[in-house]
Structure 1
Amino acid sequence: MAEPTAVDPEDAKIVTLARSARARTGAAEGAAVRDTDGRTYAACTVALPSLRLTALQAAVAAAVASGAEGLEAAAVVTEADEVDGASLAAVRDLTGDAPVLRADTAGKVLDVVS
């Protein structure tokens, strides 16, 4: 198991939002992003017959649909051992260097992909 990573209060907020999105829907993952204006967007895994999105893809899509031009940070609450490539690609499409925090279901940040 990974060692917990210390995070600043603003990043802790998006972890909490991601955790809440996952818990509210019972989805596999929850995610949240903070745009460069400080606005936050949360989402969960979308698994419909005609549409499949990771939680982070859905959160990035919500941000873009609201006019976000860049991201400051992103967080994913997951049981996976790493943030999947499709999720990272969605963040990198919008911002090349935003940190992506991976947290467990209890909200403990396990690592940060930068």
Structure 2
Amino acid sequence: MPELDPEDAKLITLARSVRARTGAAEGAAVRDKDGRTYLAGTVALPSLSLSALQAAVVAAVSSGATGLEAAVVVSESGSVDPGGAAAVADLTADAPVLLADPSGAVR
């Protein structure tokens, strides 16, 4: 397995931190085309539900991002939420989406 890019490793660290800090089921981080990062945890309210990746994309878009370089989801799940992957693809079709377990190991 090739070594992880340091900027992608940073996204994993950020996604792990938001998951730990909030106690959310998932944590996610995205990097926009300008190198800015946005992170979020799962949102589970009676009136609003977003995966962590959807919420991170929302944070990026609401801050003016028009494209993404990469995205990371930290979760115990074995797959990335399809809605989150679709949100990333809406901005940049070829942006990689990495999935890591809670320890930070990429799956």
- Aligned letter for 1:79? E
- C-alpha RMSD of the superposition: 1.1
> Which of 71, 74, 79 is residue 77 of structure 1 equivalent to?
74
Quick one: which of 83, 91, 96 aligns to 1:86? 83
Name the CA distance, whole Å, in 1 between partners of 2:81 and 2:46: 21
Partner Cα distance (2:39, 2:60) in 1: 9
Deviations 1:15-46 (A, max 9, x none): 10000010000000000000000000000000
- What percent of counterpart residues are identical? 71
Alignment partner for residue 36 of structure 2, among 39, 52, 63?
39
Which ranges in structure 1 are unaligned for 5 or more consecutive residues? none
2:7 is aligned to 10
TM-score when scaled to structure 2? 0.97
1:57 aligns with 2:58: no
Q: 8 Å contact 1:6–1:109 — kept in the other structure?
A: no
In structure 2, the residue matched to 1:104 is: 101
The Cα shift of 1:5 comes to 6.4
Distance in 1 (CA, whole Å) between partners of 2:62 and 2:81 is 22
Instruction: Rate the CA distance shift 1:5–1:100 in 2: closer, same or farther, 3 A.
Output: farther
Which is further off, 72-81 or 5-14? Answer: 5-14
Where structure 2 has 5 or more consecutive residues not aligned to the other structure, the ranges are: none
SS at match of 2:69: strand
The CA distance in 1 between the partners of 2:65 and 2:83, in whole Å, is 19
What is the number of equivalent residue pairs in this alignment?
Answer: 107
Distance 1:65 1:27, change over 3 A: same
Aligned counterparts of 1:104 and 1:25: Cα–Cα separation in 2: 16
Segments of 4+ moved more than 6 angstroms: none
